[in-house]
Amino acid sequence: KDLCPPVISLALSPGSGVFMAVLVQMTIAGKSFIGGNMEIALAANLTASSVLGQDSAGTPRFSSRNCHIALVSVKTNLPSSMLPKVMSKFLDRTLQKVLPGLLCPAVDAVLNLVNAKLTTLTSEIPLGTAGTLQYALLNPPVTSETFIELDLKAILHQKEGKEVDLPTDQPSLASLPPKRDAATQLILSANFLSAELSVLQASFNLNISNNMVLGLPPLVTTMLGALIPEISRVLPPSQPVVIEMQEAKAPVVTIAPEKSFVQLFSTAEFWVSPSDSAPESLFVLDV
């Protein structure tokens, strides 16, 4: 007839998973065994533990263990004179048998919702059109008193489907930044970031022409001669220039305390396009 919002307490169980305590208050209404309507107002404490492990696909997964129901209080609308002790004990025993089948499946339902969220961890993530990224658990999850740690293996595939080799060396826990309270931290290695940028390497290639550099002088050969006087005498007369940027080698990420660096190695080839002939390369710069 009536169900109050449950009061839920959660705690991490070191080496196991999550411990859950739920205070449930409800009113059950029905026909009395002596005729008329009877209401039973009860409060029960549900306790359950869940184990955090991994399935065959390498996805973190919670499974329930040890669901128990303890009656906190039971009250009825029947006069105490009509509810002798033997009947009261019968009511308690009946509720002790009925409530686990009524309430414990709710724990499984909640864990199934959480597990459905966790399956997205191993879904393929597109990196634009350059390739895909996927995670899998490298080791079983570790639960401590204050946090859950997931060691993830990153699987990178290029657009053609070829897997990118990644170093498997793991940083020592002592080298990681301290865990902040009530926060989720994602720690990425420099090797992983370098590999991810290498998959995206072709995305950094582009051709730069006049319509891409608004506000700057026109990209023509005479402008190049003004910038670099040494080459002015070998340049053709004023003609449009296109700069072709190409990544020369894989990017490199370096991480240090308080700062990080990303190095992109490119070549910039300057082309002139005479109206009456094929494009001609002027010179190449390493960038």
Range of the domain at 235: 205-286
> For 79-91, how does the pLDDT look when each residue is reduced to its tens digit (9 = 90+)?
766 666 666 777 7
Count other Cβ atoms within 10 Å, centred on residue 110: 17
In a shared domain, residues 11 and 112: yes
> For 241-269, how does the pLDDT look when each residue is reduced to its tens digit (9 = 90+)?
899 999 999 899 998 878 999 999 999 99
Domain final residue pick, 89, 120, 151: 120
Check residue 163 and report its DSSP letter: B
The string of DSSP letters for 231-269 reads GGGGSPSS-BEEEEEEEEEEEEEEEETTEEEEEEEEEEE
Cα distance between residue 115 and residue 59, in whole Å: 9
In a shared domain, residues 81 and 154: no
In a shared domain, residues 94 and 139: no
At position 286, the amino acid (one-letter code) is D
In a shared domain, residues 14 and 113: yes
Residue 91 resides in a domain = yes
Residue 159 resides in a domain = yes
Domain final residue pick, 65, 99, 120: 120
Helices (H), 70-220: 85-118, 190-199
Per-residue confidence (pLDDT) for residue 255, from 0 to 100:
87
Chain mean pLDDT for the chain: 86
Per-residue confidence (pLDDT) for residue 253, from 0 to 100:
92
Extract the residue ranges of the chain whose pLDDT is less than 70.
33-34, 80-87, 168-177
Residue 71 resides in a domain = yes
Q: E strands along the chain, which residues? A: 2-3, 7-13, 17-31, 37-54, 60-76, 125-126, 131-137, 142-143, 148-149, 152-158, 206-208, 241-256, 259-272, 280-286
> For 176-216, how does the pLDDT look when each residue is reduced to its tens digit (9 = 90+)?
667 777 788 888 888 889 989 988 888 889 998 877 777 77
Per-residue confidence (pLDDT) for residue 47, from 0 to 100:
95
Number of domains the chain contains: 3
- With contact defined as beta carbons under 8 Å apart, do 58 and 122 qualify? yes
- With contact defined as beta carbons under 8 Å apart, do 205 and 167 qualify? no
In a shared domain, residues 19 and 31: yes
The answer, as to whether pTM is greater than 0.85, is no
Per-residue confidence (pLDDT) for residue 244, from 0 to 100:
94
In a shared domain, residues 24 and 103: yes
Check residue 135 and report its DSSP letter: E
In a shared domain, residues 81 and 145: no
For the chain, the maximum distance between any two Cα atoms, rounded to a whole number of angstroms, is 116
- With contact defined as beta carbons under 8 Å apart, do 53 and 63 qualify? yes
Residue 102 resides in a domain = yes
In a shared domain, residues 41 and 88: yes
Domain final residue pick, 94, 120, 146: 120
